[in-house]
Amino acid sequence: MERVDPSALRWLIGVELTNYRKQAGASQAEVGKALKISGGMVAHFEVGRHLPSPQQIDVMLSHYGAPRYDIDRLSYLAGRADKSSWLARWNDVIPDWLRTYIGLEGLASHVVTYAPLVLNALTQTRDYSAGVTAPSSRVRPDQEERLVSLRMERQLRALADENPLHLTMLLEESVLDRPIGGTPEVMRGQLEHLLALAERDNIEVLVLPTAIGRHDGLEGQFSLLHFRDAEDNLQAQSVVYVEIPDDAIYIQEQRQVAQYTRNADQLREVALSPAESATAIRTRLAAFE
């Protein structure tokens, strides 16, 4: 099952083109002259709004002095980015900033996410997801069920048995105690589902006990995405995603990404082990018996 969204490929291609141009010290106007297009169109290429042709990628990267391997690699990715998206049927209910993240999630080999308030969308049951969405002032009532169905489709594609995403979810202990969905049955089903996911080789569920006090995740939720896929010829620098009300921040500056990586490592050190985390979940489940 395909989990790659072409718009995210365009975004990643744009990031790489931007990095190469800056390393070469070239301006967008200068590159536009080499391509016989406007500097504005080069800017569109770099933010993923438009897709350069393989020939244009060849000209740009040759101008920047990039190695032949990278020229061929990005040209190959451009071919993949010119396909229709599985996300198309949700275009009217998801903003561009979220669509970009979902696409990057589909391209990623490993996502480390810190969940301080609710469970990550990839681990939610349908009922829990509906409980998270239904009372939200940010979601129109007529779009609630479609957003839930989108999360379920993301799970099918990202966690499918073939080429699954490796997911590390660091969650606050309080998330296990926050009643979502209106009935005890919803939380019981969610906790059972979380235990089942934690048994999979590609999923880590690590609980951060409240008793540890201060830690490096207290500044807020984040997701750290790593990309490594030899089959798809994809290599890209890691990206940090930080969601804010009605928008998101994508951190690409590698010094900042490295800081988030250190934060994630520190959270792993103070979190309960996978076995201890499973015990914490089972303890909550026992309360429903």
pLDDT of 232 > 70? The answer is no
* Residue 16 and residue 132 in one domain: no
* Residue 44 and residue 156 in one domain: no
pLDDT of residue 194: 97
* Residue 128 and residue 270 in one domain: yes
**Each residue's pLDDT tens digit, 109-120:** 999 999 999 999
Closest CA to 15 of 183, 286, 254: 254
In a domain, 141, yes or no: yes
Between the alpha carbon of residue 16 and those of residues 34, 57, 63, 227, the distances in Å are: 18, 11, 14, 13
Residue 152 near residue 260 (C-beta atoms within 8 A): no
Give the residue numbers spanning the domain of 51. 6-80
Distance between terminal CA atoms of the chain? 38
At 118, the amino acid letter reads V
**Each residue's pLDDT tens digit, 57-114:** 989 999 999 888 888 888 877 776 766 678 878 888 888 888 889 988 988 899 999 9
Give the end of a domain, one of 23, 54, 80: 80
pLDDT of residue 231: 47
Confidence category of residue 230, pLDDT binned at 50, 70, 90: very low
* Residue 132 and residue 188 in one domain: yes
What CATH number is given to the structural domain containing 188?
3.30.870
Average pLDDT of 22-33?
92
Q: What is the 3-state secondary structure (H, E, C) of 256-271?
A: HHHHHHHHHHHHHHHC
pTM above 0.85, yes or no: no
Average pLDDT of 230-240?
67
**Each residue's pLDDT tens digit, 169-214:** 999 999 999 999 989 999 999 999 999 999 999 999 999 999 887 8
